[in-house]
Amino acid sequence: MKDLQQFIKESPSAYQASNSIIYQLKNNGFEYLDERKNWNLKPGGAYYLLRNMSSVIAFRLGAEKLAKSGFMIAGAHTDSPSLKIKTEGGSWKGGSARVSTEAYGAPIISTWLDRELSVAGVVTVLRNGVWSRSLIDYKKPVAVVPNLAIHMNREVNKGFEYNKQNHLQAVLGIGKSDNDPLRSMVSNLLNVEPLDIGEMDLFLYDPGEGSFLGDEYFIAPRIDNLAMCHSVLSALISSKISNTTQVAVFYDNEEIGSLTYQGANSSFLSEILERIVLSGKENTREDYFRAKAASFLISADGAHAVHPNFIDKHDPDYAPRLNGGPVIKLNAAFKYATTSETALVFQGICDELSIPFQKFAGRSDIPSGSTIGAISAANLGIRTVDVGNPMWAMHSIRETYGMRDHVLMNKILIHYYNKGISAYEQQ
């Protein structure tokens, strides 16, 4: 849990999350591959790839032929709901530096107001005549989105809808500069001229550390879905070479539908899997299709824990509890990819490890969320189960999570990578 706390602290945006993942992969012997170059993969080798500085695929080659053993894949997403900064139009209003924002994903807006906020992301910078992208993270509070005093908005406690254009302007904690306060602030941090700053992809975030609430709960920003990224990454690093090829995928942009060059609805994973198969000199595209048919994907994303103050928001027969074990997610419209077959595989792993599991299906009158699972299953043609650990206040600036659940999910994923699924498949 301390490692998860540190991982979240180091990952204020999908860019830094991917950088944190790569740092750990490199420290554990994984080698970088470039999509633009030929590969020379070695038996038992461990490798990783990066797209857009925000999505990562890592894999370790197994001992058996891929056409027989397939891929054991686990996936999560690196992005979290937040307020994204509109980098043009920074101005001075009422003596304060102000920038516009837009909601990224579906954050609980009210939780972002009156918070000490920092800024992180990636910036295009001109140095020595060459444009390149640089990670940027202020790490300390530099902005706030202030509420209006109750004296001027007497009805606020009866329910108030914040206008995303007018009410979510962020005030920057900087003194008077020029007409573009954001660009001045960024150029000062990077020690370059304002004209040397190109396009910026920046997000507001809560820089506060995660906190432990007694021995039960962990409260932190971005648990959705950095907790599952941490579980998948930890399991891959902790696993050994096995018969099957182990794959971990960390996608960006799940919170906005995944339809990007680096998202789950892209060609990223399918192309990498095919190239892995075809890197074997004797393998053909037929072997690639056979490998996919033998493969399995665990889509890991946060699940909704039953809320003690809103019990009626859950179906009483599908109301997972914090620290009650990992959750299998079900949906009639297949917003979650779980089938009876794939659920049985995950249940089999849990039973063998004597780990309790829970199930979630939303109320029939409340629409379900979605994950990378259904998109990946459809695009890849690979059997998929959607799972996750339960939490409260999903999409709030700070979410609450059960510590025991995190330990249990890590054990499940390590076993999955090491043993595969052959023992749990239907005959």
Q: Which of 303, 292, 341 is nearest to 325 (CA)?
A: 303
Give the C-alpha separation, 58 to 50, whole Å.
Answer: 9
Q: Which residue has the higher pLDDT, 418 or 368?
A: 418
Cβ contact 358:269 at 8 Å: no
pLDDT at 281 over 90: no
pLDDT (tens digit, 9 = 90+) per residue, 21-34? 999 999 999 999 99
Examine the pLDDT at 94 and tell me if it is beyond 70.
yes
Tell me where in the chain the CATH 2.30.250.10 domain(s) lie.
83-205
Closest Cα partner for 24 from 261, 254, 236, 284? 236
* Tokens linked to 241: 């070479």
Kindly tell me if the per-residue pLDDT of 118 is higher than 80.
yes
Which pLDDT value is given to residue 91? 83
Domain with CATH 3.40.630.10 in the chain: 2-80+221-424
The CATH T-level fold of domain 83-205 is: Aminopeptidase i, Domain 2 (2.30.250)
105-123 average pLDDT score: 98
What is the pLDDT averaged over residues 352-367?
97
Q: What percent of the chain has a predicted confidence (pLDDT) above 70?
A: 99
Q: How far apart are CA 343 and CA 361, in angstroms?
A: 13
Are the C-beta atoms of 20 and 11 separated by less than 8 Å?
Answer: yes
Section 62-81 average pLDDT: 97
List pLDDT tens digits, range 208-230: 999 999 999 999 999 999 999 99
Q: What is the pLDDT of residue 176?
A: 67
Q: Considering the chain, what is the average pLDDT of its residues?
A: 96
Q: Global pTM?
A: 0.96
**What's the pLDDT at 294?**
97
Distance of CA 318 to the CA centre of its chain: 24
CATH numeric code, 2-80+221-424: 3.40.630.10
Tokens of 109: 């807006």
pLDDT at 332 over 80: yes
| Beta strand extents in 221-378 (DSSP E only) | 245-251, 296-300, 303-304, 327-329, 358-360
What confidence tier does 427 reach under pLDDT thresholds 50, 70, 90?
low
